[in-house]
């Protein structure tokens, strides 16, 4: 059926187009971000995250990643600013990582990958009534991408998420987690119009990829070796990429104690 896909030889990114023709579209993600090819757009303001009410609900292993889901029935957790015309509601976040632990990011920067990439997925509840509807609309989703690199401190929250992935098919209550503790202190970003990076690959994502990575220890990223793989075969040249240089500070707020 059209729902079978993965990262292997038979079902990997190079054949996704057979079941999902949009894989060959002109707004597909991920891309290689070439910083000096990005245009500076002075009209872009800082992105602002309102996550203070900690609307997380549960954590689940969907077989491809660890997903933390949020209550998106109102505007308590939203992203606004930057390229966005209105607030977008936080729906879930998940991670991408690699087989060897060091090349797991989906986006690359000047050809270089990071160990892992965090995606905070938001949807446009001003224009659309459900996440599903927004996920197929050209301005339906806003995804904040955060790179994870090695050689940093051991981040207990990140270890927790990766460890959770080892529990196949599992789900658990996960209330009161504020993802702000997973962000770097500056939210300078690149933005471009792209797509979901996994099937159904809808071209519905306003990407906001944060320039500064967060650093985690090597062990916690490699503990999942072999579990997932980035769609590196699908990397496309950057187009319509914009650079933004505002500083957003004071984002470290720890709440969930691991």
- Interacting residue ranges for ligand GRE, rule: CB under 6 A: 119, 121, 141, 143, 196-198, 205
Residue with tokens 């496309």, as numbered in its chain: 236
Name the residue nearer to ligand GRE (CB basis): 63 or 226. 63
Name the residue nearer to Zn ion (CB basis): 97 or 174. 97
By a kind-dependent CB cut-off of 5 to 8 A, residue 205 interacts, out of ligand GRE, Zn ion, none, with ligand GRE
By a kind-dependent CB cut-off of 5 to 8 A, residue 121 interacts, out of Zn ion, ligand GRE, none, with ligand GRE
Residue 198 tokens read as 């996994």
Q: Which of the following is catalytic: 17, 64, 103, 188?
A: 64
C-alpha span between 175 and 55 (Å, rounded): 7
What residues from 106 to 165 belong to the interface with Zn ion (CB under 5 A)? 119
By a kind-dependent CB cut-off of 5 to 8 A, residue 27 interacts, out of Zn ion, ligand GRE, none, with none
Name the residue nearer to ligand GRE (CB basis): 44 or 141. 141
The DSSP-derived string for 86-125 is S-EEEEEEEEEE-SSSSS--SSEETTB--SEEEEEEEE-T
C-alpha span between 242 and 207 (Å, rounded): 10
Per DSSP, the three-state class of 11 is coil
C-alpha span between 150 and 156 (Å, rounded): 14
- Phi first, then psi: what are they for 179, rounded to 5°? -65, -5
Residue 143 tokens read as 């995804």
Nearest approach, Cβ of residue 135 and ligand GRE (Å): 7
Nearest approach, Cβ of residue 203 and Zn ion (Å): 14
By a kind-dependent CB cut-off of 5 to 8 A, residue 244 interacts, out of Zn ion, ligand GRE, none, with none
Report H helices in 90-232. Answer: 131-134, 156-165, 218-222
Nearest approach, Cβ of residue 68 and ligand GRE (Å): 13
How many residues bind Zn ion (CB under 5 A)? The answer is 1
Nearest approach, Cβ of residue 171 and ligand GRE (Å): 17
Name the residue nearer to Zn ion (CB basis): 196 or 216. 196
> Residue 17: enclosing H or E segment and its boundaries?
helix 16-19
C-alpha span between 170 and 100 (Å, rounded): 24
Name the residue nearer to ligand GRE (CB basis): 169 or 250. 169
Q: 11: Cβ–Cβ under 8 A, 6 or more apart, which residues?
A: 4, 5
Tell me, yes or no, if 17 is annotated catalytic: no
Per DSSP, the three-state class of 132 is helix
Nearest approach, Cβ of residue 36 and ligand GRE (Å): 25
DSSP state of 129: S
Q: Which residues bind Zn ion (CB under 5 A)?
A: 119
Which residues are known to be catalytic?
A: 64
């Amino acid at each position: 059926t059209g729902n079978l896909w993965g990262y292997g030889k038979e079902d990997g990114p190079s054949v996704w187009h057979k079941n999902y023709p949009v894989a060959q579209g002109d707004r597909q993600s991920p891309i290689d971000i070439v910083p000096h090819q990005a245009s500076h757009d002075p009209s872009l303001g800082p992105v602002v995250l309102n996550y203070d009410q900690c609307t997380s609900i549960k954590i689940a292993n969907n077989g491809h990643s660890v997903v933390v889901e949020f209550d998106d029935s109102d505007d308590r957790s939203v992203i606004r600013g930057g390229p966005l015309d209105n607030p977008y509601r936080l729906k879930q976040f998940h991670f991408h990582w690699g087989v060897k632990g060091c090349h797991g990011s989906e986006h690359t920067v000047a050809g270089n990958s990071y160990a892992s990439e965090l995606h905070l997925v938001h949807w446009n509840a001003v224009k659309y009534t459900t996440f599903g509807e927004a996920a197929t609309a050209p301005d339906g989703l806003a995804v904040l991408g955060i790179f994870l690199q090695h050689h940093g401190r051991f981040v207990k929250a990140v270890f927790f998420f990766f460890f959770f992935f080892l529990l196949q098919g599992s789900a658990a209550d996960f209330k009161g987690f504020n993802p702000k503790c997973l962000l770097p202190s500056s939210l300078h970003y690149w933005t471009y119009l792209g797509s979901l990076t996994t099937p159904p690959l809808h071209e519905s994502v306003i990407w906001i990829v944060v320039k500064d990575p967060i650093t985690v220890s090597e062990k916690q990223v490699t503990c999942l070796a072999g579990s997932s793989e980035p769609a590196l075969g699908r990397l496309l040249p950057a187009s319509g990429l914009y650079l933004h240089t505002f500083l957003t500070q004071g984002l470290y707020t720890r709440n969930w104690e691991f």
